[in-house]
Amino acid sequence: MTAPTLTRSSSTPLSTDTNVSTETDIVLVFDQNVDVESGNVVLYKVSDVYYDSIVETIAVTSGQVTGTGTEEITINPSVVLEGNTQYYLLIDATAFDNSGGESYEGIEIKTEFSFRTETVPQSIQEQIQLLAPSAIIELYQLHLTAAVNGVAAIYYYHDGTNEIHGDIVFNSITYAAVPCEFSGFKRSAKGTLPRPTFTVANSNNAISALLTTCNPVQAKIVRIRTCKKFLDAANFTSGSNATADPTAIFERDDNWYIDRVATENLTSVSFELTSKLDLTNLRLPRRQVLEHCPWKYRGEECGYVGKNYFDINNVEVDNESDDVCAHTLIACKVRHRLCLPVVGGGTQCHIQPPEGDDDILPFGGFPSARLQM
Most confident stretch, 193-197, 327-331, 366-370: 327-331
Does 351 have pLDDT greater than 50?
Answer: no
pTM of the prediction? 0.49
How far are the Cα atoms of 17, 61, 107, 316, 338 from residue 351, in angstroms, in the given order? 83, 79, 90, 21, 7
Task: Give pLDDT tens digits for 110-132.
Answer: 999 999 988 765 667 677 667 77
What is the signed CA dihedral for 299, 305, 309, 315, rounded to 10 degrees?
-80
CB 67 within 8 A of CB 57: no
**What is residue 252's predicted lDDT score, i.e. its pLDDT?**
78
- For the ranges 4-18, 92-106, 219-233, 343-357, which has the lowest average pLDDT? 343-357
Listed range (74-88, 192-206, 283-297, 353-367) with the worst mean pLDDT? 353-367
Res 334: pLDDT: 86
pLDDT tens track for 240-267: 887 888 888 888 788 899 988 999 999 9
Sign of CA dihedral 259, 262, 266, 268: negative
pLDDT by residue (tens digit) across 300-320?
A: 888 888 888 999 888 889 998
Q: Domain coordinates of the chain in residue numbers?
A: 26-116, 127-279, 290-367
What is the three-state SS of 47-100? CCCCCCEEEEEEECCCCCEECCCEEEEEECCCCCCCCCCEEEEEECCCCEECCC
* CB burial string 258-289: b at 16+ within 10 A, e below: bbebeebeeebbbbbbbbeeeeeeeeeeeeee
Backbone φ and ψ of 70, nearest 5°: -125, 180
Judge whether 167 and 176 are in contact, CB under 8 Å: yes
CA angle 164, 168, 173 (to 5 degrees): 170
